[in-house]
Amino acid sequence: MALVEIRNVRKVYRREAEEVPVLDGLSLEVAEGDYVALMGPSGSGKTTLLNLIGGIDQPTSGDVVVGGTQLAGLGTKQLARWRARNIGFIFQLYNLIPVLTAQQNVELPLLLVRMSPKERRERAQHALDIVGLKDRLKHYPRQLSGGQEQRVAIARALVSDPAVLLADEPTGDLDRKSAAEILTLLGRLNQEFKKTIVMVTHDPHAAERAHRTLHLDKGVLSN
Amino acid sequence: MNLFSLVLVSLGRNKRRTILTMLSVVVALFLFCALRGVLDTLDASIKVSSEARLVTRNAISLIFPLPLSYRERLTAIPGVKSVAHANWFGGRDPVDPGNFYAQFAVDAPNYLPMYTSDIEIVAADRPQVETPVPPGIDPKLASFISERDACVVGERLFKRMKWKLGQQVPVSGTIFPGTWTFTIRAVYHAKNPAFGEEAMLFHWKYLSEKGMNGQGIVGWYVLELADPARAGDVIRSVDAMYANSAASTRTETERAFQAGFVSMYGNVPFLIGVIGLAVVFAILLVAANTMMMATRERTSEFGVMKTLGFDDGTIFRVVLAEAAIITLGGGALGALLAKLVIEGSGFNAGGLLPPMTVGWATVATGIGIAVLMGATSGLVPAWQASRLKIVEALRRPE
């Protein structure tokens, strides 16, 4: 059974009186442990699809089912709780909180879980250890390189042990070397930690690391 | 880390802005409490007065005198235990005219026993010869009682002027012209702080002989009652007795008299209250604007937090807590600072009022207003942050 099921999803944005269709009757299945790369030109609906899978946006019609949960049936608060448990987000621009240290940034999602401060700290340190930043716990984002910031962001996505990692152009803002390191890390998370990964990318080298690549154009998927 | 430390860390994001906003709240609440302190002080000046004493003054105005001859008839009124009289002297320090303190000429043998529960003598010169004191007078005042130009001064005034017992103090008369010299023979301490310690009391007889050519005119009479419950009867009797005389009287309880004195300030207390609230309202707008700016700058950050699973309610509470810490912290600091600074200064309008005070009720009101400011200034930004749509928030640039 697929971990992510998208059935006949339409997404239409409204710009004043005008309707802008972004996804047009899209269906997709992602199996548990899969690593999918989503490619396509700008405005093709890649990020929108990622947002729908992550429950931060709702489809105009159709079903989004992740881990057996029909997302349309969840209220705002339930969706927030569901995201905290099931989804890890990795952004192109890392989106770390600048006033928090690396460890505090990673602890952030754990504030929503009943957990002792000690356990929270230990889990954050473990996640940072996995991404190879155990020696940067007390560093602020401004004291880290782009690659290191992205690794902190990956640790933050990882710390609550979600089944699915959604990465929106995770190497888009990095140099070639850092990008390669991040892609290696994502591959390791998929193979070693069995994380299901859906990654939006413009980079064919990044897409090569995935198990399969899907192309999205004008809201329609093709292999 | 927990949610509270997250709030504190967020406040440290722009330290200068946070500190300046907090300082503006400190200043607003300081001003509010200081201004309210004026009202507290006026209230305290009423509280020092007693319901068991009446004050009889000229019906036209306090500045018109009454004849000394009224004294005998006032003493004879049923229910009156004793009668004393006093005058406002209104002198100035000849060396430093800006150094104002109150001077009262009092009928000491009758006046001082009425206030034994309010003041006590803490220092006094010994008389050169043993002198008996009238009943009810502290024996330590023997020297003061026996000397025509002696005076008793408040402890605070005594210390402020660095006077010594036995020292001769010159005073320039304004209502009663000439240079007057008083010898300090005793120092009083106000057991009731509202009585104040910045006044000089001297013998009415000395004023009468030197300043009025022996004329018997007094500023007001103080009537001590045998039974406060009969105050109404006594008031009616006194005023009826002199209703058709050249100097008709107005009699009221000492508390009402003091309240009337305070009411001479007219709408000033009201204005003070309004100014205080206006200051607070202005700062409220500043705080609200700052909070909104700070929230707007963090739009994408709230988007990220929501993506991570923070629900609307948690975001609302985090933003509201930030506003509350700024306003509550600043407000409490301002209110307590007002109490410490104002009361520490001991300002008392030259003895006309008790030492200026900022009551705990005013401090509590100030803190209450700070809480309200926090809620009001934080409500809109907290609501806006909680209602942010994640997709739009993430799209918006920092």
Share of chain A above pLDDT 90, in %: 79
Contact between B309 and A81 using a beta-carbon 8 Å cutoff: yes
Q: Does A29 touch chain B (CB under 8 A)?
A: no
B350 band by pLDDT with thresholds 50, 70 and 90: low
Contact between A109 and B309 using a beta-carbon 8 Å cutoff: yes
Residue in the block written with tokens 């250890």:
A129
Whether the pLDDT of residue A136 is over 60: the answer is yes
- The residue of chain B with its CA nearest to that of A103 is B1
Instruction: Write the ipTM.
Output: 0.92
Q: Does B305 touch chain A (CB under 8 A)?
A: yes
Contact between A112 and B6 using a beta-carbon 8 Å cutoff: no
- Beta pairing partners, B105: B87, B202
pLDDT of res. B265: 65
Q: Does A20 touch chain B (CB under 8 A)?
A: no
B352 band by pLDDT with thresholds 50, 70 and 90: low
Q: Does A84 touch chain B (CB under 8 A)?
A: yes
Q: Does B394 touch chain A (CB under 8 A)?
A: yes
A18 band by pLDDT with thresholds 50, 70 and 90: confident
Instruction: Give residue-wise pLDDT tens across range B256-315.
Output: 777 766 666 667 777 887 888 888 888 888 888 888 888 888 888 999 999 999 999 999
Contact between A56 and B314 using a beta-carbon 8 Å cutoff: no
- The residue of chain B with its CA nearest to that of A91 is B304
Contact between A80 and B304 using a beta-carbon 8 Å cutoff: no
From chain B, the residues in CB contact with A156 under 8 A are 308
Instruction: Give residue-wise pLDDT tens across range A86-105.
Output: 999 999 889 999 999 999 99
Whether the pLDDT of residue B168 is over 60: the answer is yes
Interface contacts (A, B; CB < 8 Å): 67
CA distance A145 to B108: 86
Contact between A80 and B12 using a beta-carbon 8 Å cutoff: no
pLDDT of res. A66: 94
pLDDT of res. B117: 86
Are the beta carbons of B166 and B175 closer than 8 angstroms?
Answer: no
Mean pLDDT in chain A? 92
From chain B, the residues in CB contact with A104 under 8 A are 1, 9
- The residue of chain B with its CA nearest to that of A111 is B2
User: What is the value of pTM for the model shown?
Assistant: 0.69
Counting every residue written for chain B, the total comes to 398
pLDDT of res. B241: 92
Instruction: Give residue-wise pLDDT tens across range B357-378.
Output: 888 998 999 899 888 888 888 8
From chain A, the residues in CB contact with B307 under 8 A are 54, 56, 83, 89
Q: What letters, b where the CB count within 10 A reaches 16 and e where it falls short, cover A138-148?
A: ebbbeebebbb
pLDDT of res. B110: 93
Whether the pLDDT of residue B397 is over 60: the answer is no
Q: Which of A127-131, B125-129, B260-264 ranks highest by mean pLDDT?
A: A127-131
Side-chain-side CA neighbours of residue B145 (13 Å): 21
Instruction: Give residue-wise pLDDT tens across range B6-43.
Output: 899 888 888 898 899 889 889 989 998 988 888 887 77
Q: Which of A141-150, B54-63, B192-201 ranks highest by mean pLDDT?
A: A141-150
Helix (H, G, I), strand (E, B) or coil at A19: strand
Side-chain-side CA neighbours of residue B126 (13 Å): 3
Q: Quick one: angle between helices B268-297 and B360-386, nearest 10? A: 30
Q: What is the 3-state secondary structure (H, E, C) of chain B?
A: CCHHHHHHHHHCCCHHHHHHHHHHHHHHHHHHHHHHHHHHHHHHHHHCCCCCEEEEEECCCCCCCEECCHHHHHHHCCCEEEEEEEEECCCECCCCCCCCCEEEEECHHHHHHHCCCCEEEEEECCCCCCCCCCCCCCHHHHHHHHCCCEEEEEHHHHHHCCCCCCCEEEEEECCCCEEEEEEEEEEEEECCHHHCCCEEEEEHHHHHHHHCCCCCEECEEEEEECCHHHHHHHHHHHHHHCCCCCCCEEEEEHHHHHHHHHHCCCCHHHHHHHHHHHHHHHHHHHHHHHHHHHHHHCHHHHHHHHHHCCCHHHHHHHHHHHHHHHHHHHHHHHHHHHHHHHHHHCCCHHHCCCCCCCCHHHHHHHHHHHHHHHHHHHHHHHHHHHCCCHHHHHHCCC
